[in-house]
Amino acid sequence: MKKLIAINLLVAAAVLVVPLVILEIYLRATVPASSGGSLYEFTLDTRRYKLMRANTAVTAFGKELRTNELGFRDRAIAPRQPGEFRIAVLGDSFTVSAGVEQEAIFTSLLEKRLARTRVINLAVGGYNIVQYALVLQEVGLALQPDLVLVALFPDNDVTNETYDANLRVASGQASAEPAQAWYESLYLQRAYGTRLQTKLSGIFGTGNPSSQKTGGWEQNAAALKAIAAMARQHGIALEVVLLPHTWNFERQRPLFARVQKECAAVGIACRDLLERFIARGVAEASLRLNALDAHPNERYNAIVAEELADLLSRRSQLVRTGSQ
């Protein structure tokens, strides 16, 4: 009897484990690997605390990510040319778009669409609005942009969680690469485990949904106001666009509405791309990089470029004629 029970338990375990092993093998075979050294450095020399290393190349899901002499994902920035219209883009990982070829990210696509325009990508993964303002102050203004485009990601740009973590690493209070449990390196965990944990946390009320992650809201709202003030002071046009996450479009609406309210309070007309994505009826899953990573893929970047091209073309014409 005991032997029979043991056999049944082994069979049951095999029925559960074997499909998971097969799925793990499948994911590893179909999702391109990432490699290379660390892209980031942490420092107290700037209140950004976290920088991308200059002139560095890594591979993200099979695609090269190369930084320029200033430490941003862009080609070398040549001196401004006569008649050139310059757009400096501030953003986070959704604008860096690791895992997408340089030519397919929306800043590159916009540059191809806009006549006599140089679009400079000044985004850094994990940044919030406080860090955007610092990038503009420390780097962006010196590049003499005609327009600053803030590619704001409401899902986490209005919080200080990652920003505070950057400070802890820069000051030596935490490691840039915390120790992981063995299962956290599994593709299954990365693809489905974290997502399941998030859903269960939401169901049982133990999680912190992104729509409620607003610790540091006032500080980031003030930073948005500071960006607007810097633009006005230097005679630079400003556009703020709100980029949606690739999960749960409908559930993002309350947070987007709150950000829109803050934009209105500062006197900025923020462009809500969430509603544009919803109106297109595009499937959210078709916009994700792969099963492991919900960052934007080529299609997402193409849609953003399509939505912004006419707007930025009109703004460039107004700026060129002095009618902004």
Q: pLDDT digit string (tens) for 93-123? A: 999 999 999 999 999 999 999 999 999 999 9
Structure tokens at 107: 């800043």
Report the C-alpha gap between 146 and 88 in whole angstroms. Answer: 8
Count of beta carbons in the 10 Å neighbourhood of residue 82: 5
pLDDT score for 30: 87
Determine whether 297 is exposed, middle or buried from the number of CB atoms within 10 Å of its CB (0-12, 13-18, 19+): buried
Structure tokens at 188: 């299954």
pLDDT score for 291: 92
pLDDT score for 212: 47
User: How far is residue 223 CA from its own chain's centroid?
Assistant: 18
For the chain, the domains span: 40-320
Q: Is residue 62 a contact partner of residue 94, using CB atoms and an 8 Å limit?
A: no
pLDDT score for 192: 80
User: Could you report the average pLDDT of every consecutive run of 10 residues in the chain (324 residues)?
Assistant: 61 65 82 86 98 96 96 95 96 98 98 96 98 98 97 96 96 87 79 66 46 73 96 97 96 96 90 97 96 96 97 88 70
CATH architecture of the domain with range 40-320: 3-Layer(aba) Sandwich (3.40)
pTM equals: 0.90
pLDDT score for 37: 76
Per residue in 168-227, pLDDT (tens digit) is 999 999 998 877 787 778 887 888 876 666 555 544 544 444 444 557 899 999 999 999
Please name the residues in contact with 150: beta carbons below 8 A apart, sequence gap of 6 or more: 89, 90, 91, 129, 132, 224, 227, 238, 239, 240, 241
pLDDT score for 209: 44
Report the C-alpha gap between 278 and 204 in whole angstroms. Answer: 28
Q: Is residue 79 a contact partner of residue 144, using CB atoms and an 8 Å limit?
A: no
Structure tokens at 84: 């050139």
pLDDT score for 208: 42
Count of beta carbons in the 10 Å neighbourhood of residue 9: 10
- Give the position of tokens 């133990």: 206
User: How far is residue 299 CA from its own chain's centroid?
Assistant: 15
Please name the residues in contact with 4: beta carbons below 8 A apart, sequence gap of 6 or more: none
